[in-house]
Structure 1
């Protein structure tokens, strides 16, 4: 007997009472093979939230404002406030993630994402034109700082808030507060690109992206429950078998921040070490990670090391144009046994990173069940694409914000993470910010980690092929 056509299925679903229609659609979807990559979902209605979103929601209830990120842009030139409002509304309409509510399911199985049909723009305007320049500067700094601590509510759909500070006829600052449950680092570039297009060409020019974040979440849970997902999860867990779980700090978690930098220039081992790494096919991140693994192995007394590294999670090209929270953490396990030389260690690090990054489909909260994470240190060399924000007749420039708060995002249990070192290579320098848990780690400990990395690189350059770089 021939299989029913999609049209026939649609007619059969339409004939069902509304209360049963969505259940029938989900049952039909569960019987279809799950593709290896996300595809547009069939039907509408709520979809399960990701495990990361569920965790962030719990944190938000415990500590309001914890999940808020903030961005600020200075706009110099004649700004059309009406066009800006329309463009912002158009971006919210384009991306389902920015119109989501995260709420509990009726059966208590877990939170659901429900997409509101109509975008709700929350844009406040503050006129500072009559104040002194010093007062205006202070107000901008205060607003940027306070924006990062704004308590947003994913459960009510309040996941973003905008404020336009008017400093003069031709000078404004736009501040965006967004909840990390629906907005990751990559999303900022997508958002600004869309905002510029909407301002320039009108909101009707903003067609929906190829895939929405809700397509991804719907696919992720079905794929994890499929034979392919179960196989990949089991294989990845086997690769981490025997790695001890990082113990949570008895005192819990209290955030600290520290500006960090790796030295470059005359006498610095960094440039030569990165060149040595490149000769072995290692990226700058792999080279620095290999040196960090040596430092951690000495500190922990083990023969291998697991370091967590954030990954964009956009493993399908169609996901690159969507706003959402796709970030995951991939644990990288590097073996240091056998007294390897530094080139040999680089080859091991290169293979370990490639293996870990090939598993970005696995959410860290599912991989590390019960919050038992195999890493206590997170390390990243961020490479978010630079996105020019161009509005007609307006010069736009980013403004520095408060230090990021990523430990809750990157750690199933932040109390088990001692430090998260996030670096960026820019203008010939490598630097950034380290977050650390004050209950277990002091600023001197973070500095010692990075100082140890530079010492390992110096030793590697002095005797590149000598065995025993881990000693």
Structure 2
């Protein structure tokens, strides 16, 4: 007999005892075809955590605070503390990811996500108004550092914590510590947009997002276990098997980081290289990636290379309004055989990026298992959407905080990763942070790597059609 569907299924489930309804919904969902894109889940019970969340949970237990990210904004103007508190609570209520506990399932099947019904705002205040200017500056920096090192509890649902620092009656700093298991880079824009709306119009103005992160997590596990997901995963693994895997450093992993900046002033190699890329229909990211591929292939003595690049993972527009950890890494395979010109390499890189991004439904922790990570270098040129964060009578500006632990987030095995270069293009400048494994690299190695990238762009701008760019 076929399982009931639609209204018939709803009536059948409603007729069951309360204790059996959630199980019935889960069993019914398991028998239905899994769509190619996420949709609202059936029921409201726990759902399996993603593979990335499971890894971050293990990491947090080994090193508390390792998965904490920190964000801060300066608020200049008369701030209504009560309205801010209500707005923060409203944002927590809107997003299930910010009310989620992640803990092992009783049957040992893996971590589960369980959503608390009521939001719990953890907000502390510090009055720095009687400090000198220098002392206030030092105190803000200390709070930012402490926030980035805050140990949060995934098991208890303590995944976010706020600090409101009063510097003067009309000047405050709002600091958010959030766990990377529930909050990615894109989420910061969603969070601030919602916070502004709730402050302006009240928390009741915030409707739930079209999809919650728990909808996505539930769909991902089901899709990966279904024939379509299994088939795509097998094909992608087979394609990447042609590439040697990155070997873990014998000494393990020790995080290092340094700020980096690429010179893109008039007449610079970067400016000329990006102009060449634009003329060939390549984005700045693709142009820089092509130059990086040349450097890595030359270093490794190969005619191909794989670079890992973080992808937002929000491949459906219905995911763009939700807070959560959707980020994955897509390995980009770039072919440099046949001594291509840089112009030809740009076309190959464009195709390679498009091909890689078409597989961003596949989580990197499922794709790269058992020490099969195919990249040792990660590269990103972040393009998070601009956040129109505006409050009445208050000037808002972002404050830079300690660099996030992106290398550990993006790499299933950090010890197998040489470096993660994360750049941002803003106001005609390109800069950011490079994280690296101190056991195999030093700051000067990262500086030399980026200098070589600029050198490739310099040579390419002079002779874009000359063959043999890798030599």
Q: How does 1:377-388 map to 2 (within 5 A)?
A: 377-388=377-388
Q: Which digits, 9 at most, give the CA deviation of each residue in 1:206-262, with x for residues without a partner?
A: 010000000000100111111111121122122212211111111111111111111
Tell me the distance in 2 between the aligned counterparts of 1:244 and 1:5.
48
Shift of 1:5: 4.4
Residue 114 to residue 371, structure 1, CA distance change in 2 (3 Å): farther
Shift of 1:268: 1.4
2:241 aligned with 1:234, yes or no?
A: no
Counterpart in 2 of 1:215? 215
Tell me the distance in 1 between the aligned counterparts of 2:417 and 2:451.
20
Displacement over 6 Å in runs of 4+:
none
Counterpart in 2 of 1:418? 418
Shift of 1:364: 0.2
Residue aligned with 1:23, SS:
helix
Tell me the distance in 1 between the aligned counterparts of 2:324 and 2:3.
36
Q: Which digits, 9 at most, give the CA deviation of each residue in 1:161-192, with x for residues without a partner?
A: 00111122111111100000000000000000
Shift of 1:453: 0.8
Tell me the distance in 2 between the aligned counterparts of 1:44 and 1:140.
40
- Which consecutive residues of structure 2, in runs of 5 or more, have no partner in the other structure? none
Residue aligned with 1:106, SS:
coil
Counterpart in 2 of 1:203? 203
CA contact (8 A) 1:365 1:371 kept: no
Tell me the distance in 2 between the aligned counterparts of 1:44 and 1:442.
48
Tell me the distance in 2 between the aligned counterparts of 1:434 and 1:400.
15
Shift of 1:117: 0.2
CA contact (8 A) 1:161 1:177 kept: yes
2:321 aligned with 1:321, yes or no?
A: yes
CA contact (8 A) 1:372 1:413 kept: no
Residue 20 to residue 177, structure 1, CA distance change in 2 (3 Å): same
Residue aligned with 2:173, SS:
strand
Shift of 1:265: 2.3
Tell me the distance in 2 between the aligned counterparts of 1:70 and 1:232.
35
2:67 aligned with 1:59, yes or no?
A: no
Counterpart in 2 of 1:263? 263
Q: Which digits, 9 at most, give the CA deviation of each residue in 1:327-369, with x for residues without a partner?
A: 0000000011111111111111110000001111000000101
Tell me the distance in 1 between the aligned counterparts of 2:33 and 2:25.
14
Tell me the distance in 1 between the aligned counterparts of 2:218 and 2:4.
23
Shift of 1:317: 0.3
Counterpart in 2 of 1:85? 85
- Output the TM-score relative to the length of structure 1: 0.98
Tell me the distance in 2 between the aligned counterparts of 1:194 and 1:371.
40
Residue aligned with 1:285, SS:
helix
Tell me the distance in 2 between the aligned counterparts of 1:168 and 1:258.
32
Q: Which digits, 9 at most, give the CA deviation of each residue in 1:112-131, with x for residues without a partner?
A: 00000000000111112222
Tell me the distance in 1 between the aligned counterparts of 2:121 and 2:264.
45
CA contact (8 A) 1:198 1:206 kept: yes
Q: How does 1:186-201 map to 2 (within 5 A)?
A: 186-201=186-201
Q: How does 1:206-355 map to 2 (within 5 A)?
A: 206-355=206-355
Q: Which digits, 9 at most, give the CA deviation of each residue in 1:350-392, with x for residues without a partner?
A: 1000000111100000010124210000001110111021111
Counterpart in 2 of 1:128? 128
Counterpart in 2 of 1:153? 153
Shift of 1:19: 4.0
CA contact (8 A) 1:252 1:439 kept: yes
Residue 134 to residue 225, structure 1, CA distance change in 2 (3 Å): same
Shift of 1:3: 6.7
Counterpart in 2 of 1:461? 461
Tell me the distance in 2 between the aligned counterparts of 1:244 and 1:317.
35
Tell me the distance in 1 between the aligned counterparts of 2:444 and 2:10.
63
CA contact (8 A) 1:76 1:396 kept: yes
Counterpart in 2 of 1:164? 164
Residue aligned with 1:456, SS:
helix
Residue aligned with 1:155, SS:
coil
Tell me the distance in 2 between the aligned counterparts of 1:3 and 1:45.
21
CA contact (8 A) 2:103 2:111 kept: yes
Residue aligned with 1:40, SS:
coil
Residue aligned with 2:167, SS:
strand
Shift of 1:430: 1.0
Residue aligned with 2:131, SS:
coil
- Output the TM-score relative to the length of structure 2: 0.98
Counterpart in 1 of 2:398? 398
Residue aligned with 2:431, SS:
strand
Residue aligned with 1:193, SS:
helix
Shift of 1:267: 3.8
Residue 438 to residue 16, structure 1, CA distance change in 2 (3 Å): same
CA contact (8 A) 1:372 1:412 kept: no
- Which consecutive residues of structure 1, in runs of 5 or more, have no partner in the other structure? none
